[in-house]
Structure 1
Amino acid sequence: MSVFSDNIRVLRDRKNISQQKLADNLLITRSRFVKYEDGTSEPPIEILIRISKYFNLSIDLLLNVDIRKYPLDDMLKIAENRILLPVAVDSKGENKIEIVPAKASMGYLNGYQDPEYIEGLQTLSLPFLRNGKFRAFPAGGDSMPPYKDGTYIVGKYVENIADLKTDKTYIFVTKEGISYKRFHYHEGNSIWVQADNNFYEPYKISLSEIFEIWEFACSINTEEYRKGEFENQNIRVLVDEIKTEIEKLSKRL
């Protein structure tokens, strides 16, 4: 039997509803539903959508995650049920913050919807971060001073794209990878973001390419600045900004 057939059988049992009653609710025959539940047939997309809406679960979860391992009450439901995020807590009931390691950040793109992958990440608890789902991502490069390599940005999960605030910083998980940028504005089916280092031009991200968005909650530095290093970084940023302005002026001439 497939994960999907197991899942719909488990969900039906939890609702204590008969195959006939569920088939009636899905506007199909009982014999057709039985084939889905015993794994001898796969439903077309329109039936998948009906089942997803009926159980109020995302299609990707129905198809890929064995829900017997993860009580639904322990998962965070998000807007439009695109996915469910497992919420882990420690022995004191504090929200655990999963840490995405720098070396595994690209692997996150394949595992961000997989509860087993998330369970394998190291965690920490910060008692001042409550009322939401938080996750820590590595910062890198010079696009967002003063954060340097070795810094972790802790983000709070954003449920709705409409909740983005101009000039606030966010972690964007997209098809291209993980980036930490400042939100600029909406434009049709896209958003514009920008680095704090003006050497980098603002750029547009299509909404269809965005997997997750996490709003800045706090940062964790694992390395301190050496004496004079912060001032040197400010100088480098200033030089980059001057270069950018010169390039803009040269294009106008």
Structure 2
Amino acid sequence: MNSIVTKRFSHCVEFLKEQGSIRSIRQFSQSLGFQPQSMGEILKLKRDVTLELVRKTIETYNLNPNFLFSGLGEMISTSVDGGILTVITNNEQEERIAYVPVAAQAGYNDHLSSPIYLEELPTFSLPGYKYQHGTHRCFDVSGDSMEPTLYTSDKVVCSYVDSEMKYRSLRSNQVYIVVTQSEVLIKRVVNSLRINGTLELYSDNNYYEPYIVDGDDVQEVWRVESVISNFVSSPSHERNALHEEIKDMQTKMSDQSSLIRNLNKTIELLIKQTRTTSIS
């Protein structure tokens, strides 16, 4: 087998690790019925990957055979419950990150596979290896349910979790965008899909009660990778500025107290002088 396929296979495995789809090379090897030592040699490019191993990996982890054998497309095949995940590319066929603002989230779940809807959304790109592979999307944060982790007007950049891999890929206590039949949610997730077919969704703000979503009601899941937020100056600088303001106010109050005391003394002196003059 051409060694270029082995290199692409190695890149795919590294990507699966970054995405949390596999915990370790040992676990990955065992899931495919392959010896970890032999897998290690393949990933270090000391031997070529076999066609049988490629076949098993494609079936188990949904690797994109197009990418493995031709270098075209994404590393992971992207599908949504049997449909196609629509992505946006530029003229060079490089995938762009679609930005879904609050106003567009209301109809997002009804237009998941609509190229027209997605093409109308703003798009951008980010530097870094992880943003050059896989499908990413950016969502606005609205409300206070995820405070103090996330605040209104924050933007979260997320990687797509393949629907066929969510049993393995969804990691409990991580933050995800969960798109249901009726809404777009950002929550901390506990994965109970294998146990009872549900996802438990938790807010970081304890004021909000957790609730359960049926796995069949979930249309898309996106894992939060990074946050774009408004700049806030250092808390220590803010405290220092506050202390300076308080100190300045205390100084002014002290000066005013001195003036009042001096004024009182002057008034008392004038009263005494007036009384003395009256007696005389």
TM-score of the superposition, structure 2-length normalised? 0.50
For the residue of structure 1 that corresponds to 2:97, the secondary structure is strand
Query: How much has 1:225 moved relative to structure 2?
Result: 4.1
For 1:134, the equivalent position in structure 2 comes to 136
Q: Is the 8 A contact 1:184 1:191 kept in 2?
A: yes
Q: Is the 8 A contact 2:102 2:140 kept in 1?
A: yes
Query: How much has 1:95 moved relative to structure 2?
Result: 2.5
Q: How does 1:65-104 map to 2 (within 5 A)?
A: 77-78=77-78, 82-91=82-91, 94-104=94-104
- In the alignment, the residues of structure 1 paired with residue 124 and residue 87 of structure 2 have an alpha-carbon distance, to the nearest angstrom, of 13
- Structure 1 residues without counterparts, runs of 5 or longer: 1-72, 232-253
Query: How much has 1:215 moved relative to structure 2?
Result: 0.4
Identity of aligned residues (%): 29
* One-letter amino acid of the structure 2 residue matched with residue 117 of structure 1: Y
Pair member with larger Rg: 2
For 2:122, the equivalent position in structure 1 comes to 122
Q: Does 1:213 align with 2:218?
A: no
For 1:191, the equivalent position in structure 2 comes to 199
Alignment RMSD (CA, Å): 2.5
Query: How much has 1:104 moved relative to structure 2?
Result: 1.6
* One-letter amino acid of the structure 2 residue matched with residue 83 of structure 1: G
For the residue of structure 1 that corresponds to 2:138, the secondary structure is strand
For the residue of structure 1 that corresponds to 2:208, the secondary structure is coil
Q: How does 1:101-250 map to 2 (within 5 A)?
A: 101-128=101-128, 129-145=131-147, 146-159=149-162, 160-162=165-167, 163-186=169-192, 187-221=195-229, 223-225=230-232
For 1:6, the equivalent position in structure 2 comes to none
* Residue correspondences, number: 156
For 2:42, the equivalent position in structure 1 comes to none
Query: How much has 1:93 moved relative to structure 2?
Result: 5.2
Query: How much has 1:168 moved relative to structure 2?
Result: 0.9
Per-residue CA distance 1:12-57 (angstroms, 9 max, x = gap):
xxxxxxxxxxxxxxxxxxxxxxxxxxxxxxxxxxxxxxxxxxxxxx
- In the alignment, the residues of structure 2 paired with residue 126 and residue 216 of structure 1 have an alpha-carbon distance, to the nearest angstrom, of 15
- Structure 2 residues without counterparts, runs of 5 or longer: 1-71, 239-280
